[in-house]
Amino acid sequence: MEIYFSTDVESDGPYPGAYSMLSFGTAAFNPEGNLIGTFEANLETLPGAKQHPDTMRFWSEQPDAWVACRKDCKAPQEVMPAYVKWVEDVIKPYQEIYGRKIKPVTVGFPITFDFAFMNYYMGEFAKYNPFSFSALDIKTLAMVALGKEFRQCTKRNFPKRWFSEKKHTHIGIDDAIEQGEMFFNILKESRELKC
């Protein structure tokens, strides 16, 4: 049994360390696709980190999302240990019910971006990543479901039935819930095709 943690990261550049994770949201889903918990935080920027001009151009076109991700910022040293504890607290009741260790799986679109930041921040500031390297890419799942090449699997080529009814806001928690619902729509359809 797996619990899926859909995570969306907002940053000021393309990779962690040189650039900062500004905010993130995670929505936890049980195997049936029910939302069972959320975590969100806005973070202080890393000392000495830069801001990438292309990313900042994007933010200049998203003023509401920029304001939202810069409110009530907390130190990563405070947030990331709390996040790791939250992940463990979400899976704990399931471990007690099933009497075995439940492994969390992180989900993203694209996972290579979001997981890079989360892995770096958990390693630096919590010294532990409960996901290890269990990271599932929604785009890859779509590739299998659509039978298309990877680079053809952009959202504009997805069937409308896969999309959540929620709007993509570029606010971490909103987008984490939205993409988690998309993940389960694709997963369900993929499993039905195999029957």
SS3 112: helix
Note if the bond before 104 is cis, omega within 30 degrees. Answer: no
Tokens 């910022």 label which residue?
Answer: 73
Q: Which residue has the higher pLDDT, 133 or 193?
A: 133
Query: At residue 142, what are phi and psi to the nearest 5 degrees?
Result: -65, -35
CB under 8 Å to 133, separation ≥6 — which residues?
none
Residue 1 host element (H or E): none
Instruction: Name residue 26's amino acid.
Output: T
pLDDT band for position 148 (cuts 50, 70, 90): confident
Task: Give the mean pLDDT of 175-179.
Answer: 95
* Residue extents of the structural domains in the chain: 2-194
191-to-5, 79, 163 alpha-carbon distances in Å: 20, 36, 17
Q: What percent of the chain has pLDDT over 90?
A: 75
Task: Give the mean pLDDT of 32-40.
Answer: 96
Q: What is the distance between the alpha carbons of residues 73 and 101, in angstroms, rounded to a whole number?
A: 34
CA angle 4, 10, 13 (to 5 degrees): 130
Query: At residue 61, what are phi and psi to the nearest 5 degrees?
Result: -95, 0
Query: Which pLDDT score is estimated for 101?
Result: 85
- Is the pLDDT at 192 greater than 60, yes or no? yes
Name the average pLDDT for the chain: 93
- Under CATH, to which class is 2-194 assigned? alpha beta
- Is the pLDDT at 166 greater than 80, yes or no? no
Lowest mean pLDDT across 42-51, 71-80, 144-153, 181-190: 144-153
pLDDT band for position 194 (cuts 50, 70, 90): low
pLDDT band for position 72 (cuts 50, 70, 90): very high
Q: What is the distance between the alpha carbons of residues 36 and 189, in angstroms, rounded to a whole number?
A: 22
Query: Which pLDDT score is estimated for 169?
Result: 85
